[in-house]
Structure 1
Amino acid sequence: MRMIYADRGPSPLDSGKPGAADRDSTFGWWGAFSIQRFVDQNPLSHTHEDATGWLAYLQQFYDRNFWFADSGAQVWAYEETYDNWQDRYGMDAVVAVYHSGHGGMDGNGVFFAPLGAKWDNRSDAVSNRMAFGNERANYVFWSTCSSLRVLDGHSPVRTWAGPNLGSRMIFGFETTSIDSGDYGKKFWEKWRAGQTYCDAWLNASWDIYHGQAPSVAATGPTQADAVNRLNSERNFYREHVADSWYAWRWYNARESLREALTQAPPNPRIVQLAPRDPSHELATLGRLAHFPQAALQEVQVERQGVIGASSGDRFISTAPQAVRWVKLAEANHRNTQPLATERAVELARQFMQQHPESTDGAELVVDGVHDLMQNSGTKDGSQIGEPVSLQTHVTFRQAFDGVPVITPGRGEFRVVLDNDGTVVQATLSTRRPTGDTRVPSSAVAPPSGKGTQALSSPGSRDPRQALDEAQQRRIAHLTAMAADSERSAADIEARLEIRDVPGTFQVGYEIEGNEAYPAARKLIELGSRDSMFKKLRWVVAPVAR
């Protein structure tokens, strides 16, 4: 296999030459907002990283129109009068716009996005005061909680049919989401692998946490056109579309099939993992997908580190952290009768057992099942369908001597089946252990200073105590970042309401580089229980290293 290295990956633009720019190199393609310090909400840690990760891939082709951060993100940029200010700034000044921050939705389906400074004595962008898509915006990304709700009486029609005046797609979440810097970066990794915009958003978010529900809506003059946009759109287009119909998809966790470990392993070891071999990873996927040999003679890799190939309607790819993806067939979405959990697990296990070389014989345990859901409706709300399940996703987790990997998006084998029971896709991120282990430093007894006599070893840390200490450090870092001349870190911390998310505490292996080490992990939620602005954060602590 010959690898051709390129300075940049493929362009997501509908044409290589978008036309002349009026004043500079921006061309009105993309811009972003991100807020970590808010006027009157709890601070966040990773939204700037999230937004710049999304922009980074795009800026290989043309410069951004804008990136407004913290106090730069103000109400004027979201409302009709100034949302294309100076033909350059604001959410309707670009074809694709990305917003990362807090978000919430009230009982009437109105979305609120707190901002970093007041303008006109207001500091929230509110959906029913927006009007986008009548100038440039066609792809609107809300990397916030509850920005694209689809359940409990909510729908994209209810929230966005009024503000949307021509945009093609809207991305967001049904649920509270994790404060993570990886959404934007992972979106482009998935897209670069060959996934549609819809699948890339759902899968990028699912890599970060299986308990959140990412969602995507598309518009069109007909129901079929809106659904087709979900199925196939992979480029940014300047042309607006009529939004007579909306179609939307989301991931819905059906059930967990694995009981979480809550105690540290009795004899903890650090597992050594074989270094990555991307050419071997891709060749193995090629055999799984029955690629002709000629299809893998030459492949391209760019600085993002994603390597992919296609043959007909089949795609294979390998990405950073050994995340591999294979598309084997188009799903039959005409069959909307979902597979029973037991049948889905049985079929997924059969597929996994038929292809042991794809995971290098990794020890795997079934983890959970979720559905790809879809619904649709007319812009005026006169017709809203019933949700249907289009696909069943079965996830297996890699384990070492029965102890599972708990790092999100790592050590997984996820099999996607349509309702006919056909395997249509698979995502793999397992790693091959070398067979070597290391004794954690916490298990080494230090010398007593008296000849050969040794003190007792520190031993494994109590997982809950380790997480409590890690949580204190994380909160201290968060409040220190948000402190300014008006608010001290102590004042900010005193306002925080922090609680554990039930059912998320677990012990297992974290993968970092070429090692897997015992660790504990849990989710905490920050924000008042009564507030619509809450956020989830992972807390992770090694228990032996």
Structure 2
Amino acid sequence: MALLKNGAVTAPPSAPAAARALTSGDPFAATGVAADRGANRYGFCSIEDFPPGISDLSFTHEDAGGFYNYVNKFTAPNFWYRDGGVLSWIYGEEYDDWQGTYGFDACVAEYHSGHGTMDGNGVFSMPMGGTWGGSAWVNSADMRLGNEVARYLFFSTCLSLRIGGGNSPIRTWDAANLGLRMIFGFETTSVDNPDYGALFFTKWNANGRKFSKAWLDASWEIDPHQAPSVVACGATQAEAQDRLWNEGNFSTAAASKNWWWWTWYDAAKSIREDRLELPGSPQTARFAPQRLSPSRLTELAGHYGVRLDGGLPDDALGPHGVALGAGPSGDGGPRLTIDHRGVREITFAEADGTGRDAPSAAEAVRIAQDAVETFGLADRVDLVADKVRHQYHAGGTADEIADPRVRETHVVFTQLVDGHPVVTPGLGEVRVSIDGGGTVTTIVDATREVERLAGSAPAAPSPGREDTRNPSTVDEALDAPAQRLLRRLSAGGRVPAEVRTIPDSTAVGYALRGDDGTHVVRRTVEVDCGEGLAKRYVLEAPLR
């Protein structure tokens, strides 16, 4: 019989921990919070309604809410300020720990979702929801965080943690950092999306509960054309690197900023020519339902060499999925997790830590193809090598910064359905990660077997609108969602001056919704939001 401890199902002490349900773990489970501080664990700010001259956002409350709803199961957060309640005093030294309860230095983990930008001097700035003390903006040069309670900052904004173009986390955050352990943000502009906060904990629970990997993977699954980033600090290079790669529980202890180390995913790069022709007869696909019976779990474990010394307990498969095997940090064998959607993630090894660069893209594709063949991942689905993404890392001190190195190369094989790709990020694909030693460290299999294909039912045009059911080009198909986006943004009082297409982001293929797939055109665009701000949006149009 399994035991329930700190929100996680574990095997009894006398039995090997070979299988456990993916339940909601408390990220403070392994640490304590100083009694004289009360809870002081979490604080939130989110802004959708901005002052005139700045385009409003649509999903920041849902974004912050996903993080909030998860941690609120364990501890009630100190505060959640929204829209006009988000003011500059929250981030300034004078009031950032107001009454020991409120402000961005009053809690261990702080989450802000909204607009952000960075100037040519590496100063990060955010517009507030209103004006306080004559100011409607805050910037990193004026912040002093970590001398009181803050240890982890999550900036779900554009350009909050830049590492390119002469920028570095040290350049932006050194003066502001007075005890922070980690900062999470973006090198690029980011997509206005409701799922960052919730996906962060989904990934954290599924991938061995490591903060940096959870943040990067959650952002990748929302849109592979943005570049998420994370930095960790420590007294030594080894401490900063260990924190970056392995920290997975929130700690109240302040960190030295002698050393900084950071990592990021670059935007995905296509390695095959895009097919952007519209299908003559769009179809719908029905995918076989996921069946994760005990016998199927045992079969998958055996297929990937995952040890099940204690067998499968009756409650191994929880509502969030299942984890099989102790993994690289345990007995050295592979670890398999399967989330609630049926996505399989197999971890064979930790990435090589010797500093060697990962293989070239061409060599990585060859190694990845061998792995796909070895495990028969294309036996029942049609896969094509489609994209390459690199995980970089770099770091140093205020005096010297090392050049970026490639820690892992991720090769993405996209699933084809009747010759057309699945275009929903994170689904209908196999991702193979290769480290500097040429070792396959992780395989993520998010493919679905096709049960049947059928013609799409024609949809009647809306009353009073032109019939656009049969567009002849991608641009024509995307015109209606683009116009809807512009009308929505303009309703806030400002008409965007520019909309540009993100390179390699246009695709024609199947979007997955549950067990069904429908033909769509998809594209990521970046919109001018005024006052030097920008935001990305995903346009998607069904084809009928």
- Provide TM-score, normalisation by structure 2: 0.88
Could you say what secondary structure the match of 1:311 adopts? Answer: coil
Q: What does residue range 179-328 of structure 1 map to in structure 2 within 5 Å?
A: 179-193=192-206, 194-253=208-267, 255-279=269-293, 282-283=297-298, 285-294=300-309, 297-298=312-313, 300=316, 305-313=320-328, 314-328=334-348
Matched, 1:534 2:527: no
Question: What amino acid is the match of 1:535?
Answer: K
Contact 1:282 1:318 in 2 (8 A): no
Matches within 5 A, 1:491-530: 491-492=493-494, 494-495=495-496, 497-527=498-528
- Counterpart of 1:115 (choices 128, 146, 167) is 128
**Could you tell me which amino acid in structure 2 is paired with residue 36 of structure 1?**
E
CA contact (8 A) 1:282 1:317 kept: no
Higher helix share: 1
Report the equivalent of 1:36.
Answer: 48
Single out whichever of 511-520 and 359-368 deviates more from structure 2.
359-368
State the partner residue of 2:477: 466
- The count of aligned residue pairs is 513
User: 1:332-358 CA distances to partner (integer Å, 9 max, x unpaired)?
Assistant: 1214233121111011011011112x5
- Match for 2:325: what amino acid? S
Q: Unaligned regions of 5+ residues in structure 1, if any?
A: 445-456, 484-490
Which residue number corresponds to residue 432 of structure 2? 415
Secondary structure in 2 matching 1:294:
coil
- Cα distance change of structure 1 residues 352 and 496 upon mapping to structure 2, 3 Å threshold: same
Residue deviations 1:502-544 (CA, integer Å, cap 9, x gap): 442221111111111111011221116x953101100001012
The residue that corresponds to 1:486 in the other structure is: none
Point out the more displaced range, 193-202 or 104-113.
193-202
* C-alpha contact 1:189 1:306 (8 A) present in aligned 2: no
Letter in 2 for 1:441: A
Which residue identity lines up with residue 375 of structure 1 in the other structure? A
Does the aligned pair in 2 maintain the 1:345–1:394 contact within 8 Å?
yes
Q: 1:376 aligns with which of 357, 381, 395?
A: 395
Tell me how far apart the structure 2 counterparts of residues 459 and 466 of structure 1 sit (CA, whole Å): 8
CA distance in 1, matches of 2:44, 2:216: 20
- 1:367 partnered with 2:386: yes
Q: Which amino acid aligns with 2:47?
A: I
Measure, in 2, the Cα distance between the counterparts of 1:284 and 1:204: 28
Quote the Cα distance in structure 1 between the aligned partners of 2:269 and 2:500. 23
1:77 to 90, 101, 111: 90
- SS of equivalent residue, structure 1 residue 441: coil
Q: CA deviation at 1:265?
A: 1.7
Q: How does 1:409-448 map to 2 (within 5 A)?
A: 409-434=426-451, 436-442=452-458
d(CA) in 1 for partners of 2:68 and 2:291?
A: 28
| 2:139 matched residue in structure 1 | 126
What's the CA shift for 1:289?
A: 3.4
Give the alignment partner of residue 25 of structure 2, picking from 2, 7, 10: 10
Task: Work out the CA distance in 2 between the residues paired with 1:139 and 1:301.
Answer: 32
Distance 1:296 1:438, change over 3 A: farther
- The amino acid of 1:402's aligned partner reads G
Q: Is 2:354 the counterpart of 1:334?
A: yes
**Structure 2 alignment gaps of length 5 or more:** 4-8, 10-19, 329-333, 461-466
Give the conservation status (yes or no) of the 8 Å contact 2:414–2:422.
yes
Q: CA deviation at 1:329?
A: 0.8
Q: 27-36 or 331-340: which moved more?
A: 331-340
In 2, Cα distance between equivalents of 1:361 and 1:7 = 27
Amino acid at match of 1:287: G
Q: 1:390 to 1:499 in 2, by over 3 A?
A: closer
**CA pair 420-126 structure 1, distance change in 2 beyond 3 A:** same
Q: What letter is aligned with 2:370? A: Q
TM-score, structure 1 normalization: 0.88
* Conservation of the 8 A alpha-carbon contact between 1:510 and 1:516: yes
| Residue deviations 1:128-158 (CA, integer Å, cap 9, x gap) | 1000011111110111111111111110110
Name the SS of the counterpart of 1:192 in structure 2.
helix
Query: What do the CA deviations read for 1:398-424 (whole angstroms, capped 9, x no partner)?
Result: 011211011111111000011211110
**Residue identity (%):** 37
**Cα distance, 1:295 vs. partner?**
5.0
CA distance in 1, matches of 2:404, 2:312: 44
Q: Closer, same or farther in 2 for the Cα pair 1:63/1:533, shift >3 Å? A: same
Tell me how far 1:438 sits from its aligned partner.
Answer: 2.1
Say if 1:2 and 1:297, in contact at 8 Å, map to a contact too. no
How far the C-alpha of 1:306 sits from its partner, in A, is: 3.7
For residues 138 and 277 of structure 2, what CA distance do their matches in structure 1 show? 45
SS in 2 for 1:165: coil
Distance, in Å, in 2 between the alignment partners of 1:264 and 1:216 is 39
Cα shift readout 1:166-218 (whole Å, capped 9, x = no counterpart): 01000111111111111111110111012411111111111112111111100
Deviation at 1:241, TM superposition (A): 1.3
Change (3 A) 1:21 1:48: farther
* Letter of the structure 1 residue corresponding to residue 254 of structure 2: H
2:163–2:169 CA contact under 8 A, matched in 1: yes
User: Distance in 2 between the 1:17 and 1:221 partners?
Assistant: 22
Q: State the match for 1:395 in structure 2.
A: 412
Secondary structure in 2 aligned to 1:352? Answer: helix
Question: How much does 1:310 deviate?
Answer: 3.2
Q: Which residue number in structure 2 is paired with residue 162 of structure 1?
A: 175
Give, in whole Å, the separation in 1 of the partners of 2:43 and 2:343. 28
Deviation at 1:258, TM superposition (A): 2.4
